[in-house]
Amino acid sequence: DAGITQSPRHKVTETGTPVTLRCHQTENHRYMYWYRQDPGHGLRLIHYSYGVKDTDKGEVSDGYSVSRSKTEDFLLTLESATSSQTSVYFCAISDSGGNYEQYFGPGTRLTVT
């Protein structure tokens, strides 16, 4: 299995509070991704990174920001959490963009009350 960990694995927070999710990899892969998964929507890309300090928006980026200060860590921040951001968040990595397989982490279940 690819070395990807996510922390925390579960979190309950209140509306309006900031939340940061961490994705850590030990594979030295260049690309890192954040997806969210909701019933009826499959997985949707939030943001991705193609190198240190290089990030871009995905399909559902509103309300989220990301940072990547070193190769192994990709942080997802909800500046002011809302109930609509209750979801399961998956981090993924790949060695390159395009048609290289992505390896997914175990997920973080976030509940915003």
Partner 1 sequence: DAKTTQPNSMESNEEEPVHLPCNHSTISGTDYIHWYRQLPSQGPEYVIHGLTSNVNNRMASLAIAEDRKSSTLILHRATLRDAAVYYCIRHNNAGNMLTFGGGTRLMVKP
Name the token pair of 55.
């990030």
Interacting residue with partner 1 among 34, 64, 74, 90 (CB under 8 A): 90
* Closer residue to partner 1, CB minimum distance, 79 or 101: 101
SS3 per residue for 91-112: EEEECCCCCCCCEECCCEEEEE
CA distance 28 to 3: 10
Residue 76, Cβ density class (10 Å: 0-12 exposed, 13-18 middle, ≥19 buried):
buried
At position 44, the amino acid (one-letter code) is: R
Write down the residue that tokens 């060695």 correspond to: 95
Q: Nearest approach, Cβ of 29 to partner 1 (angstroms)?
A: 13
The mark string for 34-73 relative to partner 1 (x by CB under 8 A, - otherwise) is: -x----x-xxxx--x-x-----x-xx--------------
* Closer residue to partner 1, CB minimum distance, 22 or 43: 43
3-class SS of residue 111: strand
76 binds partner 1 (CB under 8 A): no
Q: Nearest approach, Cβ of 101 to partner 1 (angstroms)?
A: 4
Positions touching partner 1 (CB under 8 A) are: 31, 33, 35, 40, 42-45, 48, 50, 56, 58-59, 90, 92, 97-99, 101-107
